[in-house]
A and B are shown apart, each in its own frame.
Chain A
Amino acid sequence: MRPAGIVLLVCVAACSGTLRGTSDDGRVVDPATGLPGLPGQPANVPGAGTSGGLPPPGGAPGAVGVLGLGANGITRLSRAEYRSTVQALLGVDLGSDVELLPADSFTPFDNDYTLQTPSKALVDGLKALADRAVVAALADPAQRASLVGCSPSGPGDAVCLGDFIRRFGRRALRRPLDDAEVQAYQSFQSFATSSGDFYTAVSMVARAMLQDLEFIYRVELGGPIAGLPSAFRLNDFETASRLSFLLWGQNPDDALLDQAAAGKLRSDADVRAAAERMLGDERGKRRIERFHALWLGYDTLPHAPELNTAMRQETDALLRRVVFDQQRPWLELFSSGETWVNGPLAELYGMPAPRGADFAWVPYASAERRGLLSHGSLLSNGVRGTDTSPTRRGKFVSERLACTPIPPPPDDVNADEPPPAVSGQNCKVDRYQAHRVQPRCAGCHALMDGIGFGLENYDARGAYRQSDDGKPECMIDGTGELQGKGAFSGPAELASLLAGSGDLSSCLVQRLYQLGVGRDALPEDRPLLDALAMRGGGPGMQLRELVLAWVSSEGFRIRTVDER
């Protein structure tokens, strides 16, 4: 895997002289590895990977699970995870009420534990949501019956309440409760008897569990590992949670909990089988869709609602086809010769409209369009108002898609303002001359504008155009350069250069890792990422296989703690 550091050094020489890059959310990047973090900072993360797999028992302490998760910290459920989990537990869709929880930060994922802090607002929100969700769940008699699972003989029915506590508790707290814990919840029975309503106690049990720290946080205590003082082996239920939050973005279902209870999540083979089921499930497919949408910035789109929906369907369809239906190498997402479009999308792209059915696979007529980079969803990124910005497009491709950070502008530059109009010249390419001409701008902008200008024939919705919007006299040249790799024109050629360089595959691995561990990848994670890429199949990797190889590795069932 070619490190991103090489590109960064070229840029550093020409740029303002700062030795820092930024990952795409503006964080500092270590030039040596291309990963977020501060160079020279001692790797104070115990158990960071070195080489190979786990050491034999009694082996060198500190060298743990290269193909694993790396150090992580206790993580709170994001709004989306909370909502999906409550839906699964209670059959209630909280909808926009989840906004009563403090907002997540998107980095581009929503589960970064380094940005989470508890607060009064969080606790108040959790209480309000628990109250609302439980009231809603118990309001409908049929829903209530299915939730409780037994018909109480009266308000004092301790057996039915006890059964509910154990059953719901295992689901909500993601592990079986011991007798003492069940007893504690059982004390709510007195509220049922004094109110004359059995379901008062049910409501209290459910509300208490939804506010429990073991519900809202993913707790991983594990057990000690002989010879490795800094690492812990997850127990079966913790493994189940790790799997379900990565593969589904929500709590484990009963089947997975049963497997945990039966000790069926302890071997690589068993975990792989469980993960295969989960990826084959609709929840797994939607998770992969969401992973790409958050990663590549199209989870929200700025156009008319029908167009937004159609673009999302187009991209999701290609993802499902390549990743799940055909199980082709992930890179083929970028070289696909046809796309899933309806009439309006086809018209946008200048393709023949599908016959009959709403959506259909239609082959690209133009050789310039291939795969994901030709989709409106991706081409919608890097706009300024209603028109494209070659700089922003290039930044998007470089940082988001290829995990190659661009250093920030010098401190005194106001990058909010568009490049000034040069007198007499009004075409975009002329206005952007300023970036090329000024020495302190040229280096970094060559990296960005070079890419963006190669995509300029595609407007802010992804439609082809010959000239600048509203300026027929400004013909677009449409050629660009991916620095260090070559010239190109249009999305197909750009995709080919990116794919060939290995940057796309290595970025996939890095982003997937980021999703799983709940923080940016750090320099000390590099060996783990390399091992993951190799184990996943190298540049020709299939995403399913990459994910399965990772989650079924022994290291994935081991925890090291982020002590930062």
Chain B
Amino acid sequence: MKRFTLHRRAVLRGLAGTAVSLPLLEMMLDAAPARAAAQPAQRYLVTFGGLSTGNPSLIVPNTVGANYDVKRSLAPLATLNNVKNEVSVVSGLRLPQNGAGGWTGRWHSSSVGPLICGVSAPGSAAEGNPLGHGSPIAEGVTSDQVVADAIAGSTRFRSLELRAQPEVYRENDGTFGIISYRRDASTGQLQPNEPQASPRLAFDSMFTGFTSGGNPAMAAEREALLAQDKSILDLVRDRAQRLIGKLGSADRRRIERHFDEIRELEMRISEIPDLGAAGAGCMPFADPGQDDPVRTTQRGVVEGSIPRFLGYANEEKRARVMSDLLHMAFTCDLTRSATLAYTFAQCFIDTQALLGIQQTDVHELGHGAGSDEDVADAFAWHVEHFAYLVAKLRDTPEGAGSLLDNTVLVFMPEGGDDDGEPHSGENMLALIAGRAGGLRPGQHVATDGAHPARVLISAMNAAGVMTDELGEVTGNIPELFA
């Protein structure tokens, strides 16, 4: 019987984005206030990798249940003091053709939308699909935003969107690197949440104004700059407000979010919380320095491969920094819901730079430019970063246990495998880690064609959001809970 906590302010969000309050249950009245006071915040993270699962024999554990065997693609789970005990593997997932939360074509990255929001991707023949097939754009609110609405509380960042790979490198566009969509409260418009792909800016945004030692002169200078920034933003916001008042409704709809974001930035600058009060582990860490530059190579040496441009911007370091930032954001309760796209959908990262193998891109590996083992290693690169963060959360004390006890994290790769064909809706797989809300990690759950979004529903439940649906998909995966 799954156990989950009911937070007093948990609400359900219907598809239209309107809040539906939970019925006031006894559970919420008597015991809840006391429990809520003692109950630490839950944290929620969805990560994404722009590649397919590859040959099942190199990724799906043979064992079902606890103590699963770790294959090549998941090899990093066997490291870090056997972090696999904190991670469950969910296999046999499927994106249906023409079903709830499905897609009508197996065309490239149109799996992304249904994966993250449970709403079908419009196919090429569908009405109202101005971008035709192949678009990764989600047609509904993503789980991280549902969770943010429910549990953000008064955290500094209602949600955080980060991405390690900074540029798309080859074809496609920025939409291939967006995995978070919200619904605007006043207009009802579905909007993408562009992630921050600069570690420099992500760091600054998170730790602006925090002083942690340093000499008094530096602190004074920081104070002075902050005061300037505040005054500047005040003026910018004031002018923005006047301008928006003059705009017609269509123009206003297009840019009023900009005003909202300015106001939020101004609020963040004005109210610098005391980091020390958040707990022992909370402290700004070493400045990551300037972002590594984007390097694109213009070669495709592998026979039959497609690449025009391969890119690398030290995603290895970028992913590490973003993971550290998320760890600290959770530790300091700066946010409770986040997404981290390690790579763009249809990832064109240079495999020689990333993995030290022949020079092609990650996408092409799946199309025969690399061996099955190469594909597994590209997959493992993502898992390594996921495992790193899981281990860090596990090793961070919180309350009587660890931060991981109050966190749920998911890793969603873009595609599955159909007898060697990538970009498939078959044989999809996801990882779910953490012990929030009664999760019992460390298992291999072999589903029989469950929709991947059910892993997200499970994760949402674990974070305390009582819902049985995400988009058109219903039901969590009960085996994931104790």
A385 within 8 A of B: yes
Interface residues of A in 96-122 (CB under 8 A from B): 96, 99-100, 102-106, 113, 115-122
Out of A100, A102, A411, which one reaches B174, CB within 8 Å?
A102
B198: chain A residues within 8 A (beta carbon): 99-100, 125, 128
- For B235, give its contact among A20, A115, A184, A411 (CB under 8 Å): A184
Q: Which chain A residue shows the least CB distance to B259?
A: A213
Which of A21-29, A395-403, A531-539 faces chain B?
Answer: A21-29
A308 is an interface residue with CB less than 8 A from chain B = yes
Interface contact B250-A123, CB-CB below 8 Å: no
CB-CB nearest in chain A for B266: A123
Instruction: Give Cα distance in the complex from A561 to B174, angstroms.
Output: 26
Q: How far is the CB of A2 from chain B (nearest CB, A)?
A: 24
- Within 14-43 of A, Cβ neighbours of B (below 8 Å) are at 18, 20, 22, 25-28, 36, 38
Least CB distance, B292 to chain A, in whole angstroms: 11
Q: What's the Cα separation between A505 and B105 when bound, in Å? A: 35
What's the least CB distance linking A70 to chain B, in Å? 14
Chain B residue contacts of A204, Cβ below 8 A:
228, 231-232
Contact of A113 among B108, B244, B254, B302 (CB under 8 A): B254
**Which of chain A's residues has its CB closest to B129's CB?**
A28
Contacts of B293 in A (CB 8 A): 96
Contact segment of A284-292, A412-420, A542-550: A412-420
B108: chain A residues within 8 A (beta carbon): 416
Interface residues in B, total, Cβ within 8 A: 83
B111 at the interface (CB under 8 A from A): no
Beta-carbon contacts of B229-266 to A below 8 Å, as 1s and 0s?
10111011011100110111111001101110110110
Verify if A175 is at the interface (C-beta below 8 Å from B): no
* B195 and A121 contact, CB distance less than 8 A: yes
Complex contacts, B193 vs chain A, CB 8 Å = 119-120
A562 touches B265 (CB 8 A): no
Q: How far is the CA of A564 from the CA of B250 in the complex (A)?
A: 7
Q: A18 to B125, Cβ gap below 8 A?
A: yes
B194 touches A122 (CB 8 A): yes
Q: Is A435 on the interface with B (CB-CB < 8 A)?
A: no
Assess whether B298 is in contact with A214, with CB atoms less than 8 Å apart: no
* Closest chain A residue, CB of each to CB of B369: A385
CB <8 Å contact, B300 and A385: yes
- Which of A27, A195, A412 has a CB less than 8 Å from the CB of B131? A27
Residue of chain A at shortest CB distance from B236: A211
Task: Flag whether B358 is at the interface (Cβ < 8 A).
Answer: no
Given contacts A213-B243, A213-B258, A411-B125, whether A208 and B130 have CB atoms under 8 Å apart is no
Quick one: which of B133, B168, B235, B250 has the most chain A CB within 10 A?
A: B235
**Residues 339-367 (chain B) with a chain A CB within 8 angstroms:** 367
CB proximity of B226 to chain A, nearest CB, Å: 12
> How far, in Å, is A107 (CB) from chain B's closest CB?
8
Is B235's CB under 8 angstroms from A208's CB? yes
B474 interface residue per 8 A CB criterion = no
- A191, CB-defined interface residue at 8 Å: yes
Q: Which residues of B are found within 8 Å of A73, using beta-carbon distances?
A: 250-251, 254
- Interface positions of B from 439 to 472, Cβ below 8 Å from A: none
Which one of B19-27, B64-72, B304-312, B396-404 is at the interface?
B304-312
Q: Are A74 and B235 in contact (CB under 8 A)?
A: no
A384 at the interface (CB under 8 A from B): yes
The verdict on A361 contacting chain B, using a C-beta distance below 8 Å, is no
Give chain A nearest CB distance to B1 CB in angstroms.
40
A414 touches B421 (CB 8 A): yes
Tell me if B175 counts as interface (CB < 8 A to partner A). yes
Find out whether the CB atom of B254 lies under 8 angstroms from the CB atom of A214.
Answer: no
A207 with B175: CB separation less than 8 A: no
Within 8 Å by CB of A119, from B129, B194, B236, lies: B194
A416 to B195, CA, bound (A): 29
Give A208 to B228 CA distance when docked, in angstroms: 10
Q: B residues within 8 A CB of A426?
A: none
Q: A127-B265, A195-B224, A211-B232 are in contact. Are A122 and B258 (CB under 8 A)?
A: yes
Bound CA span A102–B194, Å: 7
Identify which of residues 316-342 in chain B touch chain A, using a CB-to-CB cut-off of 8 Å. none
- Are the CB atoms of A414 and B304 closer together than 8 Å? no
Bound together, the chains give a CA A105 to CA B239 distance in angstroms of 28
> Is A118 a contact of B257 with CB atoms below 8 Å?
yes
Query: For the complex, is B428 an interface residue (Cβ under 8 Å from A)?
Result: no
Question: Are the C-beta atoms of A385 and B305 separated by less than 8 Å?
Answer: yes
Cβ contacts A431-471/B at 8 Å (1 or 0 each): 00000000000000000000000000000000000000000
> Are A300 and B261 touching (Cβ within 8 A)?
no
- Shortest distance between the CB of B472 and any CB in chain A (Å): 19
Q: B241's closest neighbor in chain A, by CB?
A: A213
Q: Name the interface residues of A190-248: CB closer than 8 Å to any CB of B.
A: 191, 195, 200, 203-204, 207-208, 211-214, 217, 219, 221
CB-CB < 8 A to B224: which residues of A?
195
Chain B, residue nearest A103 (CB): B174
Q: How many angstroms from the CA of A207 to the CA of B294 in the assembled complex?
A: 26
Q: Is A303 on the interface with B (CB-CB < 8 A)? A: yes
Whole-angstrom CA separation of A252 from B214 in the bound complex: 45
Chain A residues, CB < 8 A from B195:
121
Q: Is the pair A121, B174 in contact by a Cβ cutoff of 8 Å?
A: no
Knowing A26-B131, A208-B236, A300-B309, say if A124 contacts B205 (CB, 8 Å): yes
Asked if residues B194 and A408 are in contact (CB atoms below 8 Å), the reply is no
- Contacts A38-B130, A213-B255 given: A416-B247 contact, CB under 8 Å? no
Q: Is A386 at the interface (CB under 8 A from chain B)?
A: yes
Tell me whether A149 is interfacial, beta carbon within 8 Å.
no
CB contact under 8 A between A213 and B204, given known A191-B231, A207-B232, A418-B304: no
B285 at the interface (CB under 8 A from A): no
A123-B261, A125-B201 known; A408-B306 Cβ under 8 A: no
A124 near B196 with CB under 8 A, answer yes
Output the nearest chain B residue to A96 by Cβ-Cβ distance.
B293
Residues of B within 8 A of A207 (CB): 228, 232
Residue of A nearest to B108 (CB): A416
Instruction: Looking at the assembled complex, report how far the CB atom of B64 sits from the nearest CB atom of chain A, in whole angstroms.
Output: 31
A-B contact pairs, 5 of them (CB 8 A): A99-B294, A103-B168, A128-B198, A184-B238, A385-B305
The 3 closest A-B pairs by CB, nearest first: A411-B105, A118-B258, A119-B194
Assuming A74-B255, A414-B423, what are 18 further A-B pairs, CB within 8 angstroms?
A26-B133, A26-B134, A28-B132, A36-B130, A38-B128, A99-B167, A103-B173, A103-B174, A115-B175, A118-B257, A120-B265, A121-B201, A124-B204, A184-B238, A191-B227, A213-B244, A214-B239, A416-B423
Which residues of A line the B interface, CB within 8 A? 18, 20, 22, 25-28, 36, 38, 73-74, 96, 99-100, 102-106, 113, 115-125, 127-128, 181, 184-185, 187-188, 191, 195, 200, 203-204, 207-208, 211-214, 217, 219, 221, 300-305, 308, 383-386, 408, 411-412, 414, 416-418, 561-564
